[in-house]
Amino acid sequence: MRHLLRSTLLPLLCAGLLGACASAPNPNMAPAGSKGVYFVAPANGATVTSPFMVKFGLKGMEVRPAGEQVAGTGHHHLLINRESMAPGQIIPVDDVHIHYGKGQTEAELKLAPGTYRLTMQFADGFHLSYGKEMSATLTVTVK
């Protein structure tokens, strides 16, 4: 009986999970489209100890330090407990909008214990958002 449950329910469970992935893109995987961003680390739903490393993945565009607007390039941002920003919106500089304007592709993040929504947002050399298409959001718990 136990064996039967495992062999019949597991594929069903996986199919259900895949269905969920289709509606909400996996923030840890390069998107299917020609461009996008994704978290190399941490994993969505992970529990981490502060400080922890955040690693940024990028597809279809190039990282370049801030200061100049060059087509097809930009730098990473991390928005804490914020969703993606509309295309052309300037990303503020404050505690919950962190700029990686030197062109960093990874960074150490210090957060107080709690559960957070982290949004990667790619933006051009003048910090103007490339919009939802160039963002990824995950949940992480800091213990």
Binding site for Cu ion (CB under 5 A): 99, 127
Q: Of 42 and 74, which has the nearer Cβ to Cu ion?
A: 74
Q: Of 48 and 78, which has the nearer Cβ to Cu ion?
A: 78
Secondary structure of residue 133 in the 3-state scheme = helix
DSSP bridge pairs for 63:
74
Q: What is the dihedral sign for C-alpha 17, 55, 38, 89?
A: positive
Smallest separation (angstroms) from Cu ion to the CB of 75: 6
Is 75:125 a contact under the CB 8 Å cutoff?
yes
Smallest separation (angstroms) from Cu ion to the CB of 135: 13
Q: What is the dihedral sign for C-alpha 131, 136, 137, 140?
A: negative
Q: Of 29 and 128, which has the nearer Cβ to Cu ion?
A: 128
Smallest separation (angstroms) from Cu ion to the CB of 137: 18
Smallest separation (angstroms) from Cu ion to the CB of 87: 15
Q: Of 38 and 100, which has the nearer Cβ to Cu ion?
A: 100
Q: Which residues contact 70 (CB under 8 A, 6 or more apart)?
A: 64, 124, 125
Specify the residue for token string 């502060």.
50
